[in-house]
Amino acid sequence: MTHAPVSGWGFWLLILLIGLGTFALRLSFIHLWGRIQFPQIVHRALRFIPAAVLAALVLPALLRPEGSIDFSVHNLRLIAGVLAAIIALLTRNVLFTIAAGMATLWITQMIH
């Protein structure tokens, strides 16, 4: 089954409808959050969303820099990521963690 491409006004109408749908969905949660009493377990679970999203974005770049899983010492991103994770655990300082991870990556890339 082939579909004709959306063009002209149809394209912009589609973009507008998708934008309105996204806005309505987000606004509904913001609106409901203050009016409905959610169970405490929901509040606890929502605290982990930022960490889960960050892990979903960062881990594939660390573990699969060339498209396949690489746990070798030649995976410079993984080395920098592990060092950054250790620094994060020790210092709890986000800026220092990012700076140390980037510096490690740059230095290992220059050496390699």
Residues in Cβ contact with 81 at an 8 Å cutoff, skipping those fewer than 6 apart: 58, 62, 101
Tokens of residue 43, six digits: 């509040």
DSSP state of 36: S
Nearest to 72 by CA among 60, 63, 83, 85: 63
Is residue 62 within 8 A of residue 78, CB to CB? The reply is yes
Each residue's pLDDT tens digit, 36-68: 888 899 889 989 999 899 889 989 988 887 788
Is residue 92 pLDDT above 90, yes or no?
yes
pLDDT of residue 106: 97
